[in-house]
Structures are given as C-alpha cells and as structure tokens.
Amino acid sequence: MPPDDRHRFHVRLRPPTAPAAPEALDPLDEPPYDYPTLALIGCADLAATDATAEAGGFGAPWHFDVSYDLSAFLEELDQLLTAFHDRTPHTLDLYPQGLERTLAFAFPTPDLVTVHCASRTDWTPSPSTEHHPYDQLHTQLTTLAHQFATALETSGSRTAPHSTFPAWRAGRFAPTPVTYAPPDDLPRLLAARAPTRHHHVDTTAVSSLDDLYDAISRTLPLDPPLHGHVRSWDALDDSLSGGLHEAPDRTPLITFTDLTTLTTGELRFLHDEFTSLAETLADPALTQNRPTHVQFLIGRTDT
C-alpha cells in the first residue's frame, strides 16, 4: 500500500518526541494488569504527549485519536498478531462512539488477507472488503506493535516493562499464550507452532472445571506432585509451573481437545489462570534467567 493511500485499510502511530509530564501518567498501582488493560492505560499515557494516530480504509480516512480509537485497536493487537501467525480468522471490534465498526480478517490463501468492514453507523464502507498481501499487512501490524511498545518507553509510561511490550521492542511477535480454535484445526496449528515439546490433554470426557483439573493432574508435568483429594487451582498452578520450569523444553505447547462444554465464566477463569502462568514462566526475573515460553491451544467448536 503506498504510504499516502489513506483510503486503504491502515492503522499508524506517530510516536511521541518527548516524555509526558510525570503527573499525567497512570501510577499503575492496582496490579495485576492483563494485556488489554495495559494497552488502554498505555494509550492514555501517550495521549498526554504529542503522539498522534491515523487510520483509514474501505474508501475513506477515519477520525482516529490516540486515547480512545487507537486504544480499541491495540487492545486486540496481540490476538490479531496470533491470528496472523496461525492464519486463523479474527474479528476485531472498534467500539468507540463514532467509529463503531467491526473488522473481520480472513486468510483464503497463505499469501492473501481479506479484511471485511461492517459499519454500525450511517457511514457505508465502499468497498466493504479489501484484499491485502499477507506479508505487507503483517509487516504493518508488527511495525505498529514495535512503535507502540517503543512509544510507551519514550513517554515514560509505567506500562512499558510489562506484558508483551519488551518482546515487541526487541522485534519478537510470538502468539499470545492462550489460543482458541476449532478442534479439527488443532493439528494444523500444532504443526505451525513447532513446539519443542507437545503435551496433549484429552478433554473429550470433560464437562466441568473439576473434570479438567483431574485431566491436567493426570497428564501434565507437575513439580511437586499433588497429593490429597481437595482440588486447589492455586496448588495446581504452582505444581504445573514447577513441572514446566524444571523440564528441559523451553517452548512447550499444551493442547486441549475440546472445552466447548465449559461455561463462559469457566473459560474466562481458565484463560486468566493459563495467561498468568505463562507470563510468570516467561519472566527471566522470576525464573532465574531460565524462562519458559509455554502456549495453550484450546479446542472449541464455537470458535
């Protein structure tokens, strides 16, 4: 896409040239923070600088500010980069008032990305679907990720050392720790991830978190082993963290056959548990400079 083509889909950030005033920055004093919250806070911090954002596509440039509009896009950028890595469809909701549109990314061929825009306002995208070379659009997104992570550091934002931002500044754009996919697609994604070790948890008989707890306890490496009959997710988290940390494999992948039977609340709990575990294991300061980059691939028929 030519740099001056504002009518084709794009999102760009012009980074700040100087730090924000310290009193304008979020104190970041209510941990823990997940990635979407850190992205939201980071954009609020950037809004206190001279940083600006630009976006457009589907026939027109868009009004696009840093604190609200860019934030909505960046809150899902980690998931979108994972979708690009795995070439799996992803729908991104740009919810801010006045913007109010969804972008549906699909990958009909390995070298092509389609982006479909659906508007919830009186604006009509024309065309409603654009076609982009995969490499070109992927580069645009990783450039945005790198610029955002670097801008956080420049601005003095306290979010800069957290979450995936140090990796983005170093040019590493690995998939998010927890990914959902249709069960039939798991073999393809497993091959694409190329882990150093694969652990498969058979969940065909799982219908509750208790069932899943038992399946994990039977299948995955635990150190120390669990004893007793009381199910404790905190104890399981500590034991699984130890087992994965002590294993020789630094990039393991854990797949779950199908967890469609779990409720939305149970899946959210599981997502938070696995994300926290992955972030702990990936932190050199918490692992004696021996980080493990574990990924969880969860089958769901309603994905």
Residue-wise pLDDT tens digits, 120-137: 999 999 999 999 999 999
209 and 154, same structural domain?
Answer: no
* Band of residue 45 on the pLDDT scale cut at 50, 70, 90: very high
The residues, any chain, with a CB within 8 Å of residue 156's CB and separated by 6 or more, are 19, 20, 22, 25, 45
223 and 91, same structural domain?
Answer: no
Task: Answer whether residue 265 is part of any domain.
Answer: yes
261 and 136, same structural domain?
Answer: no
Predicted local distance difference test score (pLDDT) of residue 163: 76
Task: Answer whether residue 98 is part of any domain.
Answer: yes
Given 150, 169, 188, which residue is the final one in a domain? 169
The chain-wide mean pLDDT, for the chain, equals 92
Assess whether pLDDT exceeds 90 at residue 269: yes
Assess whether pLDDT exceeds 70 at residue 104: yes
Task: Answer whether residue 76 is part of any domain.
Answer: yes
The residues, any chain, with a CB within 8 Å of residue 106's CB and separated by 6 or more, are 89, 113, 114, 116
155 and 28, same structural domain?
Answer: yes
* Nearest CA-CA partner of 250 in 192, 293, 286, 288: 293
* C-alpha to C-alpha distances, 95 to 13, 43, 68, 70, 235, nearest whole angstrom: 19, 15, 9, 11, 38
Give the residue-averaged pLDDT of 87-114: 96
Predicted local distance difference test score (pLDDT) of residue 3: 42
Task: Answer whether residue 2 is part of any domain.
Answer: no
Task: Answer whether residue 5 is part of any domain.
Answer: no
Dihedral angle computed from the Cα positions of residues 59, 5, 165 and 220, in that order, rounded to the nearest 10 degrees: 60
59 and 77, same structural domain?
Answer: yes
106 and 232, same structural domain?
Answer: no
Task: Answer whether residue 4 is part of any domain.
Answer: no
Total domains present in the chain: 2
Cα–Cα distance for residue pair 73/99, rounded to 1 Å: 11
Stretch (H or E) spanning 164: none
Cα–Cα distance for residue pair 231/204, rounded to 1 Å: 20
205 and 292, same structural domain?
Answer: yes
Task: Answer whether residue 1 is part of any domain.
Answer: no
Given 118, 140, 169, which residue is the final one in a domain? 169
Tell me the per-residue pLDDT of 144-165, one tens digit each, with 9 for 90 and over. 999 999 999 999 999 999 878 9
Tell me the per-residue pLDDT of 231-247, one tens digit each, with 9 for 90 and over. 999 999 999 999 999 99
Nearest-Å Rg of the Cα atoms of the chain is 20
Predicted local distance difference test score (pLDDT) of residue 32: 65
Given 152, 169, 186, which residue is the final one in a domain? 169
Percentage with pLDDT > 70 across the chain: 98
Q: Which domain holds residue 92?
A: 10-169
149 and 27, same structural domain?
Answer: yes
76 and 134, same structural domain?
Answer: yes
